[in-house]
Amino acid sequence: MSSLISNAELKSELEAILPSCNTLTIVSAFMTQPATRWLSSLISDNKPKVQLVGRFSPFDFIKGSSDLNALRDCINKGYTVKALTNLHAKIYQIDEDTIFNGSANLTGKGLALVDISNLEACIKVQSCEGSKSFITKIVNSAYELSAETIDDMENYISKIERTDSSELQMAWPEDIISQSKDIFISDFPLSAPGDFVKEYEVNPSLPFAQIENVRDDFELASELFKKSKAYRWLVKQIIENKSDRDLGFGQVSRLLHDALEDDPAPYRQQVKDLQVNLYSYLRLYVKDEIEIYTPGRKSEIIRLVKNNLL
């Protein structure tokens, strides 16, 4: 039976395993230079295949949660570095056989590499096909960064840091990092507008965490909602609807359940809850673009009311 270990114990385990590993995949929301330099010192001789996937939102670099120079170093060493902006997982996979999963980021504090560190916990498990598939899915969903991309990210951050709205810059422009076309639960609202959600505090780069963060500015919140992957997905479903009728609640539920890429797949009720939350945002922010109506006592129907969406 596996047991919990601290981040100090994780550090010791990795120091014993990594010098002889052949492949290494690290999924970590945050990454900083003390940890990436420590990592490179352990694997410099055997030169394994290394893949790193992080969240890497603009806000992460502005606040110092991640470090562009750390990513630049890793790319220069030949590591594959990828961004997945809804990421919150922390996974260390060595040679596809051993997995450490827990709360420790690839940072100085996360791995107890500095004097004042976080108290983290993780578990060591033997890999199985399901775990391998899950990690592969994360890696394949992420956007690969190049040295040129890092330069573009740095230039973009330097511009928004000079504005008063830097904390709102959670997402990259499409010409820097294209969003994954896959959709996940985290792309959708986890509650109705105005409700408290703990996950939004933990991961402020989530799209609806951003919207809630600026909800006092109606125009900005509306703009962010209209740019969200959830809203754009819904509009696409309405436009591509081949039936003679507008889309009913049940139809949208089925489409959403089939489209979500989360593993394991969400239960139908969870999908319906996400949909109810999304419809609440529709009523608040896009009454000029989408109409929700209920004919008689039947389920809610949605349709476009703005021609420029077509």
pLDDT tens-digit map of 58-109: 888 988 999 999 999 999 999 999 998 778 889 999 998 899 999 999 999 9
Within a domain: residue 259?
Answer: yes
Q: What is the pLDDT of residues 96-116, one digit of tens each?
A: 889 999 999 999 999 999 988
Q: Examine the domain organization and report whether 115 and 250 are in the same domain.
A: no
pLDDT band, very low/low/confident/very high, at 166 (cuts 50, 70, 90): very low
Q: Give per-residue pLDDT as tens, 283-296.
A: 999 999 999 998 87
Task: Say if 139 falls within a structural domain.
Answer: yes
Per-residue pLDDT, 167: 47
Same domain assignment for residues 188 and 138: no
Given 157, 173, 191, the domain boundary residue is: 157
The two structure tokens encoding residue 27:
């999924």
Within-domain flag for 286? yes
137, 197: one domain: no
Instruction: Tell me, yes or no, whether 90 and 226 share the same domain.
Output: no
Q: What is the mean pLDDT of the segment spanning 144-153?
A: 96
The reply to whether 133 and 9 lie within a common domain is: yes
Measured torsion, CA atoms of residues 156, 162, 164, 170, in degrees rounded to the nearest 10 = 20
Min mean pLDDT across 114-118, 275-279, 294-298 is at 294-298
Domain contains 37: yes
Neighbouring CB atoms inside 10 A of 297's CB total 5
Q: Are residues 153 and 8 in the same domain?
A: yes
In a domain, 63, yes or no: yes
**Co-location of 190 and 48 in the same domain:** no
Output the domain CATH number for residue 71. 3.30.870.10
User: Domain tally for the chain?
Assistant: 2
Same domain for 252 and 295, yes or no, is: yes
Q: Are residues 121 and 23 in the same domain?
A: yes
152 and 12 in a common domain: yes
The residue segments making up the domain with residue 297 are 181-309
Residues 134 and 197 in one domain: no
Residue 87, in any domain of the structure: yes
E strand or H helix that includes residue 152: helix 147-160
3-state class of 126 per DSSP? strand
Q: Which two tokens stand for residue 148?
A: 């040129």
Q: What is the pLDDT, as a whole number, of residue 262?
A: 84
Q: Residue 99 domain-assigned?
A: yes
Same structural domain for residues 92 and 129?
yes
pTM for the full predicted model: 0.73
- The residue from 122, 141, 157 where one domain ends is 157
The three state secondary structure string of 226-268 is HHCHHHHHHHHHHHHCCCCCCEEHHHHHHHHHHHECCCCCCCH
Judge whether 155 and 41 are in contact, CB under 8 Å.
no
